[in-house]
Amino acid sequence: MTMVRRRRSSSIRADISSFLMWAAEPHLEARKRTGFMVMIFLLIFTGLIYLTKKSVYANKEH
């Protein structure tokens, strides 16, 4: 019986801590998703800028 109670109490503790984490920052997942999309955009944009620079200065002497 005590093993069952320990498992239940540890499960309850995990649930409570998860809820408190969510209650502290309810928009955390949306911010993480937005940040990930921004990083992908910046990587693609950097690649495009590099390729544009390379094509613009391809025939110029330095």
Please tell me the distance from the alpha carbon of residue 14 to that of residue 50, in angstroms, as a whole number. 47
Give the model confidence (pLDDT) of 19-59 as tens digits.
Answer: 998 898 889 889 999 999 999 999 999 999 999 999 998 88
Q: Could you tell me the pTM of the whole model? A: 0.61
Domain boundaries, the chain: 2-56
In 3-state terms the chain splits into helix, strand, coil percentages (rounded to 5) of: 85, 0, 15
**50: amino acid identity, one letter:** Y
